[in-house]
Amino acid sequence: MTESERGPRERMVFSAAQLVRRRGVAGAGMRDVVAHAHAPRGSLQHYFPGGKEQLVNEAVRWAGRYAARRVPRFMTGMAEPTPSGLLAAMVGQWTDEYAREGFAGGCPVAAATVGCAESVESTREAAAEAFGEWTGAVREALVGMGVPAGRAGGLAVVVVSAVEGAVVVARAERDVRALEAVVGELGPVLDAARGGGG
């Protein structure tokens, strides 16, 4: 769905995710979301009667679904899918963004977790759900590439955690070396786990 095909509600959820990933929850004001989404001001109350909390939670869930949908797309883009290739593709979206646009953006799920998880239970739940959806997609992909089901769940958590942590370090350092290290160090471990190895 292109930006022009999205309705005002979908545009506001997308815009909230984009602003949260760049500014954090506190810096993503409702007026900013409306302006970014080119939506009518009155539509906020109509679509999000729960206010900013509802909008942030929906943006976080959207981000989890987006990340999960990317996993099979990465797999389709590989001539011969491997666990290390999947990890490299996941990291590559960040290194490409940082090369193109600088280090302003991060993951909206991580930003919402840091900004709200202790104070807003519904946001913590939305973030947990988003991470669960993403790790579930990675787990399924790993199993499909021959990683035993008993290991795939734990390795999927490690993959998502490593990527998220490396994104934070890359933004702090203004350098992609942490992302590159994740691929270099974790990729061989993932490949060795296929067929019961590792």
Q: What HEC string does the chain produce?
A: CCHHHCCHHHHHHHHHHHHHHHHCCCCCCHHHHHHHHCCCCCHHHHHCCCHHHHHHHHHHHHHHHHHHHHHHHHHHCCCCCCHHHHHHHHHHHHHHHHHHHCCCCCCHHHHHHHHHCCCCHHHHHHHHHHHHHHHHHHHHHHHHCCCCHHHHHHHHHHHHHHHHHHHHHHHHHCCCHHHHHHHHHHHHHHHHCHHHCC
Q: What is the pLDDT of residue 5?
A: 57
Q: What is the pLDDT of residue 65?
A: 97
Confidence (pTM): 0.91
Using a pLDDT cut of 90, give the percent of the chain over it.
78
pLDDT over 70 at 3, yes or no? no
**pLDDT tens by residue, 150-196:** 999 999 999 999 999 999 999 999 999 999 999 999 999 999 999 76
**pLDDT tens by residue, 22-45:** 999 988 888 899 899 998 878 888
Q: What is the pLDDT of residue 196?
A: 62
